[in-house]
Structure 1
Amino acid sequence: MFHTSLGLLRLTAILEGISYLVLLLIAMPLKYFLDFPFAVSLVGAVHGFLFIAYLLMLAIVKFSKRWSILWALWAVLLAFIPFGTFYLDKQLQTKK
Structure 2
Amino acid sequence: MTVFVPKITCPTADTVWTAGSTCTVTWDTSDAPESISNGSKVVLAKDGLQDYQHPLAEGFDLRAGSVQITIPADTAPGSDYAIVLFGDSGNYSPKFTIKT
TM score, norm. by length of structure 1: 0.25
Instruction: Give the structure with the larger helix fraction.
Output: 1
If each structure's strand is expressed as a fraction of its own residues, which one has the higher value?
A: 2
Larger radius of gyration: 1
Q: TM-score, normalised by structure 2?
A: 0.25
